[in-house]
Chains A and B, each alone.
Chain A
Amino acid sequence: MASQNPVKQKEVVEIEKELSFGPIHPALLEPYRIRLFVNDEYVEDCELTVNVAYRGIEKLFEGLPIERALVIAEKVCGICSNVHAFNAVRVIEGGLNIEVPTRASYIRVLVHEIQRMTSHLLFFGHAFEVLGHETFAMRSFLLRETFMDLMAYIGGNRVMASVPIIGGIRPRADLTEPLKKTILSRLDEFEDKYTDYVNRIMADPMVMSRLTGVGLLSKDEAIKWYATGPTGRASGWDFDLRRDMKEYKPFDFKVIVLNEGDNKARVVARALEIFESIKIMRQVVKNLPEGPVVNRQWIAGKMDYTIAYIETYRGELMHSYGLDEHGLIRNYKIRTPTITNLAAMEQACIGDHVTDAMVTIASCDPCLTCCTRAEVVEKGRSRVMTDQEVVRNYGWRH
C-alpha cells in the first residue's frame, strides 16, 4: 500500500535492516505481512502487505439475486458481520425507496450497537494480547461473552446473526418482553464489571507507560489518510457518521473525540464509546415502538448504482451496487475502514520501538478479510498486475 502512496516526502534515511512478520504470527490474528525497516530498534519505515487473504469477494456478488447476495454480504467478515448485512440492505432501501418500519430500525440499531461492543471488546482482547497482558485480554473476552450471548438470543447465531433484511428485520429477531428484560439486566451487570475493568486498566502504570505517547497520529495526518472511526476520533477529528444517519436520529449519545492521537487515546476512545453504546441500547429497549418489523411491499427491479455509507466500529464503510432489470446485482463495491486506517498506521508507527510499533498497528484494530483486493504494482511504466501475475513473472522471492 505504501508503495502506491509516496506522498510523504522525507529525506532518505539509511536503513540498517528489515524485519518481516507474518502472515502467520502471534501478533496478527489474520494473515497479513508487516515489513518494518528499522535502525537499531527504531522503525524508520513500515509497509503492510494486506492482500494475503484474497477471496475475490466482490466478484462473488456479481449476478446474484439481491436477496441471495445478503448471505455473502454477511460473510464478508466475521467481526463486522451485522454491519455488512445492514449496509447492504441500506443500499437497496435507499435506491428503491423502501420504507423501513420504525420498530425494525430500532432493533437494527440495537444489534449494530451490540456488535460494536463485541468488536471493541475484541479490540481490547487483541490489544492487550499484543501488549503481552494475558489477564486483561482474557477479562475482555469474558466481558465480550455477554454480547455474544445477546447476539445468539436475538439472531440465533453468535457471529452471523442475520438480523437486517430488505425492508426491516427478520421476524425471528423481534424483541419479546422477556428478551427486553434480559437485555437490560445483562447490560446493568456488564456496566458494573466493565467500569471496574476500565478503571483498573487506566490505573495500571505499566500498561499506561506502554501506551502513552506512542504511535502519534496528528489530526492532519488522520484526515489526509482518511483514518475514520475511533482511530481518527482519537486524533481529534470529529467525524462520526452516526450523527447523520436517520436510524440514529431518535437517540441521544455523545461522540467521543480525544486530542492526543497516541495509542492510549485510541484505547480510551473505544473504552468510552462502549459507555455511549450502552446508553443507546438502553434507549432502544426502553423506547421501542410497537408495530410491524418488516415491510414486504417491494420488488427488486432496475436500480442505478447506489452508495450507502455507515459508521461501523472501525470507521466508515461504503457499500454500493446497482441492480439490473431482473434484480440481479451488478458491480458490487465495498470500501472498508481498515484499508485507510492501516495506511495511517503505517505512518503512525514510524519512530517507535519495534515492539511498540506492533501495538500501534494493533491500536487501529486491524482486520483485513474485507479489504483484500487487487493491488497495483508499478514497474517502469505504470501497469497493473495481479499478485498471481507478479509471482508468475518474478517468483515468490525476487
Chain B
Amino acid sequence: MIAFIRLMIEGAYKNFVRVAARRDRITSIEIRESVASQSVPMQETVLDETCIGCSGCFHVCPTQAITMVQLEKPVEIIEGYSRTQVPRIDFLKCIYCLNCHDICPIYSVFGEAAPIHARDVGAPRLTLQEILKKPVRAPPDKILELSKLIPAESIALISRRENN
C-alpha cells in the first residue's frame, strides 16, 4: 500500500506535467501529417533499380494483378541489355501468394519491404551487374523442377495469355 502511494504521488506529478504541458507525447507527427494530407507512402514493392524488365512476374501472377508499364526511355543496365518495361502491381487484385517474388530472377518484387515467401530468396545484396554477368540459362532439370513448384493454374494462365 505504501509503495502504491509513493508510486501514485510520483505518477501524479508525471501525469500532471503530461496533461498541462503536453510532455512525453509519442504520437508520430510524421504519420499524422501524411494521413491528414492523404499521402501515406505506398508500400515499396517493385525495386525499379534492379528490375530487368523480363516480365516473368507478369506471367506467373495467378490473379493478373501485374501489368508491365513501358518505360519512356529504355535504361541500359549493362552493355547490350536495357530495361524497357517495369511491372506495376495492382494491390486490389494481389493475393500475396508471392509467386512473382519466387519467379523473379533477382527478387526485385516484394524485395525488401514486404513479406518474402519463405522459400529461399538467394542473395539479395548482389548488384545487378554481377547477376547479369552470370550465365542466365537454367539447366533443363532445374526448369522441370521449377515447373512443379509453380501452380498448375498459373501455367495454364500463361499459356492462355500466350494463345490470345
Chain A contact residues, CB within 8 Å of chain B: 65, 67-68, 70-71, 73-74, 85, 88-89, 142, 155-157, 160-162, 164-167, 170-172, 199-200, 203-205, 294, 296, 326-327
Q: Is A71's CB under 8 angstroms from B118's CB?
A: yes
Within 8 A of A (CB), among B78-100: 96-98
Known interface pairs A71-B98, A170-B120; A205-B4 also in contact (CB < 8 Å): yes
Q: Is A67's CB under 8 angstroms from B149's CB?
A: yes
Check B9 for interface membership: any CB of A closer than 8 A. Answer: no
Q: Is B115's CB under 8 angstroms from A171's CB?
A: no
The closest CB in chain A to the CB of B26 belongs to: A142
B50 to chain A, nearest CB (A): 14
The closest CB in chain A to the CB of B122 belongs to: A171
Task: Give the chain A neighbours of B33 by CB distance below 8 A.
Answer: none
Check B114 for interface membership: any CB of A closer than 8 A. Answer: yes
Check B1 for interface membership: any CB of A closer than 8 A. Answer: yes
Check B117 for interface membership: any CB of A closer than 8 A. Answer: yes
Task: Give the chain A neighbours of B26 by CB distance below 8 A.
Answer: 142
Q: Among the listed A157, A165, A326, which residue makes an inter-chain contact with B118, where contact means beta carbons less than 8 Å apart?
A: A165
Q: Among the listed B11, B97, B120, B125, which residue makes an inter-chain contact with A294, where contact means beta carbons less than 8 Å apart?
A: B120
Q: Among the listed A74, A156, A160, A162, which residue makes an inter-chain contact with B112, where contact means beta carbons less than 8 Å apart?
A: A156
Overall SS of chain B's interface:
loop
Task: Give the chain A neighbours of B138 by CB distance below 8 A.
Answer: none
Task: List 10 interface pairs A-B (beta carbons < 8 Å), by A numbering.
Answer: A65-B149, A68-B117, A68-B151, A71-B118, A73-B118, A156-B114, A156-B116, A162-B115, A162-B116, A203-B4
Known: A67-B149, A88-B118. 14 other contacts (CB 8 A): A70-B118, A71-B96, A142-B26, A155-B115, A156-B114, A156-B116, A160-B115, A165-B118, A165-B120, A166-B118, A171-B122, A172-B124, A200-B7, A204-B4
Q: Is A74's CB under 8 angstroms from B115's CB?
A: yes
The 4 closest A-B pairs by CB, nearest first: A70-B118, A160-B115, A67-B119, A203-B4
Q: Is B4's CB under 8 angstroms from A157's CB?
A: no
Q: Is A70's CB under 8 angstroms from B112's CB?
A: no
A318 to chain B, nearest CB (A): 19
Check B136 for interface membership: any CB of A closer than 8 A. Answer: no
Q: Is B117's CB under 8 angstroms from A162's CB?
A: yes
Check B123 for interface membership: any CB of A closer than 8 A. Answer: yes
The closest CB in chain A to the CB of B95 belongs to: A71
Q: Is A171's CB under 8 angstroms from B118's CB?
A: no
Q: Is B118's CB under 8 angstroms from A67's CB?
A: yes
Q: Among the listed A155, A170, A203, A327, which residue makes an inter-chain contact with B148, where contact means beta carbons less than 8 Å apart?
A: A327
Known interface pairs A164-B118, A165-B120; A156-B113 also in contact (CB < 8 Å): yes
A72 to chain B, nearest CB (A): 9
A171 CA / B122 CA spacing, docked (Å): 7
The closest CB in chain A to the CB of B124 belongs to: A172
Q: Is A203's CB under 8 angstroms from B121's CB?
A: no
Task: Give the chain A neighbours of B112 by CB distance below 8 A.
Answer: 156, 172
Task: Give the chain B neighbours of A157 by CB distance below 8 A.
Answer: 113-115
Check B3 for interface membership: any CB of A closer than 8 A. Answer: yes
Task: Give the chain A neighbours of B123 by CB distance below 8 A.
Answer: 171
Q: Among the listed B3, B117, B121, which residue makes an inter-chain contact with A71, where contact means beta carbons less than 8 Å apart?
A: B117
Q: Among the listed A156, A165, A327, which residue makes an inter-chain contact with B119, where contact means beta carbons less than 8 Å apart?
A: A165
A298 to chain B, nearest CB (A): 11
Known interface pairs A172-B112, A199-B7, A200-B11; A162-B118 also in contact (CB < 8 Å): yes
Q: Among the listed B114, B124, B148, which residue makes an inter-chain contact with A326, where contact means beta carbons less than 8 Å apart?
A: B148
